[in-house]
């Protein structure tokens, strides 16, 4: 019988019958130890969940911990100590007796999350009030009568189980309290109240605020479970929590109760298991343990010196425990963090929760090994994308892409398997991002992971993707070369003629104009049919052989200059192309940054306009601006800028991200920085200064080359390469501009269709379509029916993806391979990265994660996660650049060179290791950053 206030663990389990099957169907296999367990996390992070994401829907009644224990109790061969759960109904009924709690919750919701002192004080008051409430008689009676059936003189563990903990997408582990070895009815009732109160510990309150969870939406259940007095206990991770490898399990073990491990009292023994075999172990000196007292409570005890360095478990026990863990993992459909106890050579499971920090694995329909390279690291957009953004990018990409964790990846396994294509891919990856190359080589060094295929020619095996994305072209999946980049584009001859670039741009503009014209009359299902045709045209434009030749001509000329000038003229000419490309003509992205300086020139003379912009908050500010003296002129300048660049934004490869035209306030801080930091005419002056510096460098290099043996030949060849790089390197940015221009047209049409669905009562708000794929959106338009629960699950999953850090390289085992810089030329303590723009600069670090928060002074060094083209307007006002993501030919690197900014990219955790306001020295030639005192 199910009680309103108390549920037995088996009753909880019965209410969830079938959830294991749901989990297994998402995993793709019910086999224990399946190397692909967890891959089903991708499509829907909460498959099998209830209304609020809790397992089987019961989580809203018994919380995450209670729901998982109930499910565990139904798994054959899993021994779970007997117990029951005091439901959230009991929690709500008890708190309803004290109205002052509502008042305090209102106060708590209004507190600044950074005001720790106020949070500490108010949360303590709430806890004290809850602990002081007398548990209503009917609730107390339900608890004590259940204790009588189980044995009210036995010892129990009393554990908090909140409705928002242990979800597939978030872990609140350690946020609330657990009490061990509680004896007697009175003590148990008291500790139930203490668990309820622990919902408002300072750490729990702050965690909820940081994760955007309303305090009123979370309720507390309490698990009361018969105490286990173990010989040993610990934690089992069914996937490696550090690397993410799903084939590797780790076991932490110590003597006595697990509190010794959780509290950090002892270092545990650590066992590593792979494919049913212990492949590594570290045996710690376990000097202390926690044991239960006969009268209740626990105490620390010293471990006998002869036992301290003995293994807590035998290898056979470890393997048996991992097998048990695989069974639990298969039932829940994803890797688990499992708390276990060893009693009389039998394992008792006292808790399991999903490991929420693992990056998901792309879903495939085979059981082969795969190596994936991140598209986001090439596109300078490592944030998660919403489903509509993912599907549109996939539909317009030139190679197949796989989705995982809201990011896109390209499978490079076949290219790596073929010796003919492997060298070319590694060389291309190494030139762009050495960390990617090193990560790929790390996996290849494991000779059993990728088996070599027979060579079928220089292009590799049939059907192999010839690129991993678009880092080298600005286009999604532009084919790359199979071998080492050729000198001067010899494998793809192209005339060194600016008219080639002009023709390519005119072609792109004509195609975009036709798209904009033809899409206006399309609505309903006809719009989606039209868009599929538009996507085909999109790919046709991107695959234009002439466009690819122009891009490669500029890039290969850059590589040629850097390689040969350093070889011929010595270390002093390292990265010489960085200066030779200053103010290269025709770069749409660098022009975008300079154009905002011109906007500042229009704003600067009008004090009222400047004052008005300093207080702008609403997106319709341009309408009001015209009413101020000088405002009409300023508005026209901003509008003209938006007409040319308003389709851009941070993360612009995701069609769902707000564009500058939709959110023009994003540009206001940058305009004001330009007003403050620059004199009139700065744009033209900066461009001309860069051009003259490049010409001076060219004259100097050619003069010194002619003094060498065979100097005239070297100088002539170098001159051809300089002309080539200045002709074509600017065009490298244009295809991305074309993509984003098209995306904005697609988006406007799709949002108009979404608005019609809102008017018809099908959708609550038009942005809900962002959480549908393109095909799902199409289906909704046809049927006028939408699954609101699917949209909510997608929103929850997207929120969880934001907490994940995508790897550069990911294997089908789930291992995130980071790669490393193999260098010995960096000073001790320096942060290592990839040099992409020469020079050395010292200044104040400004750590900025959102362009809208920019507040830069002359001489500042921008430190951020990544920079796509939308960040370029900031580049005119900084002295140097440091990013966590980037490559030699990614957008930020190209623009940094054109502006002459010393830049180092690919600096792991730069935004965490460098504090805002610190003085740093950026060595853009040698690729490292010194943090100065």
Residues catalogued as catalytic: 891
How far apart CA 373 and CA 423 sit, in angstroms, is 16
Neighbouring CB atoms inside 10 A of 373's CB total 26
CB 271 within 8 Å of CB 63: no
What value, to the nearest 5°, has the Cα angle with vertex 672 and ends 671 and 676? 120
Q: For residue 86, give every residue at least 6 positions away whose Cβ sits within 8 Å of its Cβ, in sequence order, or none.
A: 5, 6, 139, 143, 192, 221, 222, 223, 224
Give the H/E segment covering residue 479.
none
Instruction: Take residue 630 and report the two structure tokens written for it.
Output: 């000088």
Sign of CA dihedral 538, 542, 543, 547: positive
With CA atoms as reference, report the closest residue to 221 among 14, 58, 353: 58
Q: DSSP class of residue 805?
A: P
Cite the DSSP H helix spans in 573-660: 577-580, 588-603, 607-614, 621-625, 631-645
Phi-psi region of 160 (alpha: psi -120 to 50; beta: other; left: phi over 0): beta
Residue owning tokens 């995508």: 806
Q: Please, what's the b/e burial string for 678-693 (b: 16 or more CB within 10 A of its CB; e: otherwise)?
A: beeebbeebbeebeee
With CA atoms as reference, report the closest residue to 393 among 667, 807, 746: 746
Q: For residue 494, give every residue at least 6 positions away whose Cβ sits within 8 Å of its Cβ, in sequence order, or none.
A: 500, 546, 549, 550, 553, 728
How far apart CA 832 and CA 575 sit, in angstroms, is 17
Residue owning tokens 């509509």: 388
- Which residues does residue 291 pair with via DSSP β-bridges, in sequence order? 299
CB 480 within 8 Å of CB 742: no
Q: DSSP class of residue 6?
A: E
Residue 132 backbone phi and psi in degrees, to 5: -85, -10
- Which residues does residue 371 pair with via DSSP β-bridges, in sequence order? 811
Burial class (CB in 10 A: 0-12, 13-18, 19+), 717: middle
Q: DSSP class of residue 667?
A: G
- Which residues does residue 351 pair with via DSSP β-bridges, in sequence order? 339
How large is the greatest C-alpha to C-alpha distance in the chain, in angstroms? 101
How far apart CA 893 and CA 836 sit, in angstroms, is 6
Instruction: Take residue 354 and report the two structure tokens written for it.
Output: 């999903």
According to DSSP, the β-strands at 155-162 and 880-883 are unpaired
Give the H/E segment covering residue 847.
strand 840-847
Burial class (CB in 10 A: 0-12, 13-18, 19+), 173: middle
How far apart CA 5 and CA 23 sit, in angstroms, is 29
The residue count for the chain:
933
Residue owning tokens 């309720």: 219
CB 893 within 8 Å of CB 915: no
How far apart CA 339 and CA 351 sit, in angstroms, is 5
Cite the DSSP H helix spans in 707-773: 711-728, 734-759
How far apart CA 532 and CA 748 sit, in angstroms, is 16
How far apart CA 719 and CA 488 sit, in angstroms, is 12
SS3 337: strand
């Amino acid at each position: 019988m199910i009680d309103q206030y108390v549920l037995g663990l088996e009753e909880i389990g019965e209410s969830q019958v079938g959830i294991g099957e749901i989990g297994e169907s998402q995993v793709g296999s019910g086999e224990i130890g399946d190397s692909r367990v967890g891959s089903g996390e991708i499509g829907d992070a909460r498959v099998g969940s209830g209304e609020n994401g809790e397992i089987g829907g019961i989580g809203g009644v018994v919380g995450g911990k209670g729901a998982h224990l109930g499910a565990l109790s139904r798994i054959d061969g899993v021994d779970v100590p007997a117990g029951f759960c005091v439901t959230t109904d009991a929690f709500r009924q008890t708190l309803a007796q004290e109205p002052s709690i509502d008042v305090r919750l209102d106060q708590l919701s209004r507190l600044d999350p950074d005001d720790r002192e106020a949070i500490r004080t108010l949360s303590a008051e709430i806890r004290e009030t809850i602990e002081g409430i007398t548990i209503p008689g009917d609730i107390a009676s339900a608890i004590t009568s259940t204790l009588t059936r189980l044995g009210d003189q036995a010892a129990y563990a009393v554990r908090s189980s909140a409705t928002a903990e242990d979800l597939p997408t978030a872990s609140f582990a350690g946020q609330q309290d657990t009490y061990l070895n509680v004896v007697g009815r009175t003590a148990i009732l008291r500790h139930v109240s203490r668990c309820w109160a622990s919902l408002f510990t300072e750490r729990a309150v702050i965690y909820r605020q940081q994760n955007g969870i309303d305090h009123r939406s979370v309720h507390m259940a309490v698990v009361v479970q018969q105490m286990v007095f173990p010989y040993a206990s610990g934690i089992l991770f069914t996937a490696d929590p550090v690397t993410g490898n799903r084939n590797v399990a780790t076991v932490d073990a110590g003597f006595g109760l697990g509190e010794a491990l959780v509290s950090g009292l002892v270092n545990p023994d650590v066992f590593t298991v792979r494919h049913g075999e212990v492949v590594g172990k570290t045996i710690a000196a376990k000097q202390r343990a926690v044991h239960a007292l006969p009268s209740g409570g626990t105490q620390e005890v010293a471990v006998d010196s002869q036992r301290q360095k003995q293994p807590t478990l035998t290898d056979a026990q470890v393997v048996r425990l991992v097998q048990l863990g695989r069974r639990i993992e298969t039932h829940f459909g994803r890797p688990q963090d499992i708390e276990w106890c060893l009693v009389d050579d039998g394992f008792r499971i006292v808790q399991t929760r999903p490991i929420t920090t693992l990056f998901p694995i792309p879903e495939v329909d085979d059981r082969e090994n795969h190596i994936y390279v991140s598209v986001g690291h090439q596109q300078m957009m490592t944030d998660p994308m919403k489903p509509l953004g993912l599907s549109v990018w996939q539909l317009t990409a030139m190679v197949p892409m796989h989705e995982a964790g809201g990011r896109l990846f390209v499978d490079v396994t076949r290219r790596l398997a073929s010796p003919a294509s492997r060298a070319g891919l590694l060389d291309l990856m190494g030139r762009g991002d050495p960390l990617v190359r090193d990560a790929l080589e790390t996996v290849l060094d494991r000779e059993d992971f990728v088996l070599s295929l027979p060579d079928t020619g220089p292009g590799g095996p049939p059907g192999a993707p010839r690129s991993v994305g678009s880092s080298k072209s600005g286009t999604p999946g532009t084919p790359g070369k199979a071998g080492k980049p050729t000198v001067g584009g010899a494998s793809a001859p192209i005339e060194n003629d600016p008219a080639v670039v002009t023709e390519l741009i005119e072609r792109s503009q004509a195609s975009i104009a036709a798209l904009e014209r033809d899409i206006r009359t399309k609505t309903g299902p006809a719009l989606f049919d039209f868009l599929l045709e538009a996507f085909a045209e999109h790919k046709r434009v991107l695959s234009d052989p002439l466009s690819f030749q122009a891009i490669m001509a500029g890039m290969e000329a850059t590589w040629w200059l850097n390689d040969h000038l350093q070889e011929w003229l010595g270390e002093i000419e390292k990265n010489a192309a960085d200066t030779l490309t200053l103010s290269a003509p025709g770069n749409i992205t660098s022009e975008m940054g300079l154009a905002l300086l011109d906007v500042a020139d229009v704003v600067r003379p009008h004090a009222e306009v400047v004052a008005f912009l300093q207080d702008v908050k609403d997106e319709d500010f341009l309408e009001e601006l015209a009413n101020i003296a000088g405002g009409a002129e300023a508005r026209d300048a901003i509008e003209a800028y938006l007409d040319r660049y308003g389709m851009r934004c941070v993360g612009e490869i995701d069609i769902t991200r707000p564009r500058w035209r939709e959110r023009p306030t994003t540009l206001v801080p940058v305009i004001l920085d330009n007003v403050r930091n620059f004199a009139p005419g700065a744009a033209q002056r900066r461009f001309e200064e860069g051009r003259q510096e490049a010409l001076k460098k060219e004259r100097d290099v050619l003069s010194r080359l002619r003094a060498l043996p065979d100097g005239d030949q070297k100088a002539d060849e170098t001159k051809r390469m300089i002309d080539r790089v200045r002709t074509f390197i600017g065009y490298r940015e244009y295809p991305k501009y074309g993509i984003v221009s098209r995306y904005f047209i697609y988006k406007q049409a799709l949002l108009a269709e979404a608005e019609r669905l809102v008017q018809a009562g099908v959708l609550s708000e038009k942005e809900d379509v962002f959480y549908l794929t393109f095909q799902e959106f199409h289906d909704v338009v046809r049927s006028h029916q939408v699954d609101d629960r699917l949209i909510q699950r997608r929103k929850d999953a997207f929120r969880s993806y934001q907490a994940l850090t995508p790897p550069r390289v990911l294997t089908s085992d789930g291992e995130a391979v980071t790669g490393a810089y193999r260098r010995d030329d960096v000073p001790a303590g320096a942060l290592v990265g990839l040099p992409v723009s020469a020079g050395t600069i010292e200044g104040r670090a400004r750590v900025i994660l959102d362009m809208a928060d920019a507040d830069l002074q002359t001489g500042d060094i921008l430190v951020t996660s990544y920079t796509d083209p939308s960040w370029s307007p900031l580049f005119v006002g900084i002295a140097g650049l440091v990013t966590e993501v980037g490559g030699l030919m990614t957008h930020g690197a190209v623009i940094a060179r054109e502006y002459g900014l010393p830049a180092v990219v690919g600096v792991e955790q730069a935004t965490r290791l460098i504090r805002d306001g610190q003085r740093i020295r950026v060595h853009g030639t040698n690729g490292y950053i010194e943090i100065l005192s």
